[in-house]
Structure 1
Amino acid sequence: MLLISNGDVAANSPGRQVDVLSLHTYRPIEIWVISEGQICPIFFRLLLLFFYSVRYLSSCFFLLSSFSAMSSSVIPRGQVDLVDFVDWSGVECLNQIGKNPIANALKQGYRDDDGLHLESDADEQLLIYIPFTQVVKLHSAVITGPEEEGPRTVKLFANKEHMGFSNVNDPPSDSFNISADNLKGKPVTLKYVKFQNVRSLTIFIEDNQGGGDVTKLQKISLYGTTVDTTNMKDLKKIEDH
């Protein structure tokens, strides 16, 4: 048997070492010419090279996919997640089903659990009231859900207390349609001038993507900044006196 390496011809000499170019590093590696009773190590090196190449390509694909997902739901520059400023004692949701309440989509930890969601009850509409412990400025929102049952038409009302479904036709502070990218976590930028002094936010979900009777929300995240350090609970106490 003859083995050609770098223009040299190696005769069939058992145990003779020859230099060849590695497919991976382009550096010389030593192999043994196959002889009776021996197994050629280059076969195993090629297998290892193939194995690590597949792992490398898989890792690159995973990192690119992860980066794409993270970039679509990243917190906007200069803004913070306002979840820490929600007054949980006052949060309400009309037409939610008891086993899948608003906390599943709004509370930190709950909203990141793929097995939890907010679900409508009698029909596809939901009316969510979120008060804050401090006055905030709203910049953007992330509202996610399933492809078919996820929300579609959304109306936002700033500082509208005790709204009911009879009030949802009032002029909203902002309204928009949720796109397929929004359902996966891409933030919706709000009309910032309309949300400069927000004490509470009411979210009206009018319908869903598939036009069915059940709407599901997996996550609601609100991004913005606080106006000052005034605690709304303390302010209410002062006003009561």
Structure 2
Amino acid sequence: MSGCVKLVELNPLVDKGKSECLNEDDDHTWLNVIEESATGELKSDCDEQLILRVEFTQPVKLHSLVIDSGCDAEQAPKEIRLFANEYSPLSFDDAEQRNSTQDFDLSFDELSKPIEVRFVKFQKVNNLTVFFKNNQGDQDVTSMSKVKFIGSPIATTNMNELKKVG
């Protein structure tokens, strides 16, 4: 990546109205880990799997993500699969079987540090689906305290704002 590109946290560009998380605990939702001022955790409900789908308000170049473990290290995410620009929401079966854009098998030591993606595959991301397949300790619940998306917005022109000259 070029040294002149400034990396920023992309979470403020997440469109909360178009984003969702499947299998989240009602008291521990995805907003707890995306919003900067939020505290709490994201926890799975029925089993260890979660699907977090984030829609960005504009295209972004994704460089890395940071996943902070929750209170219980055994419940921290282990295997995650990233799907860039999926226009139909994925089911859990889809997330297991489809080809992903990139997979990670995280050790506990890799959590809370930037996890770099294959930058060439994440150049123009409108939405990102993160499938949390399991956790560090094969627990029934997966939890985390923060998810940060790091990269840079792609400067775009809103064609609706252009005015005809002459």
Instruction: Give me the TM-score of the superposition, normalised by structure 2.
Output: 0.86
More helix by share: 1
After the TM superposition, list the runs of 4 or more consecutive aligned residues in structure 1 that deviate by more than 3 angstroms. none
User: Does structure 1 residue 222 correspond to structure 2 residue 146?
Assistant: no
More strand by share: 2
Residue number in structure 2 paired with 1:122: 46
Is contact 1:142-1:182 (8 Å) kept?
Answer: no
The percent of aligned pairs where both chains have the same amino acid is 38
Greater length-normalized contact order (CA 8 Å, ≥ 6 residues apart): 2
Query: What root-mean-square deviation, in Å, do the aligned CA atoms of Structure 1 and Structure 2 show?
Result: 1.6
Query: Which sections of structure 1, spanning at least 5 residues, go unmatched?
Result: 1-76, 236-241
Residue number in structure 2 paired with 1:80: 8
C-alpha spacing 1:173/1:210, structure 2 compared with 1 (3 Å): same
Residue number in structure 2 paired with 1:132: 56
CA distance in 2, matches of 1:194, 1:230: 23
Higher gyration radius (CA): 1
Is contact 1:121-1:214 (8 Å) kept?
Answer: yes
Is contact 1:174-1:191 (8 Å) kept?
Answer: yes
CA distance in 2, matches of 1:197, 1:98: 32
Q: How many residues align?
A: 152
The Cα shift of 1:106 comes to 1.1
User: Does structure 1 residue 194 correspond to structure 2 residue 121?
Assistant: yes
The Cα shift of 1:104 comes to 0.7
Show the 5 A alignment for 1:1-241.
78-110=6-38, 116-145=40-69, 146-161=72-87, 162-168=89-95, 169-183=97-111, 185-230=112-157
Deviations, residues 183-208 of structure 1 (Å, cap 9, x unaligned)? 2x111010101101100000000000
Is contact 2:14-2:54 (8 Å) kept?
Answer: yes
Query: Which sections of structure 2, spanning at least 5 residues, go unmatched?
Result: 161-166
The Cα shift of 1:230 comes to 4.5
Instruction: Give me the TM-score of the superposition, normalised by structure 1.
Output: 0.60
Deviations, residues 74-124 of structure 1 (Å, cap 9, x unaligned)? xxx8311001211111110000010100001111111xxxx6100000000
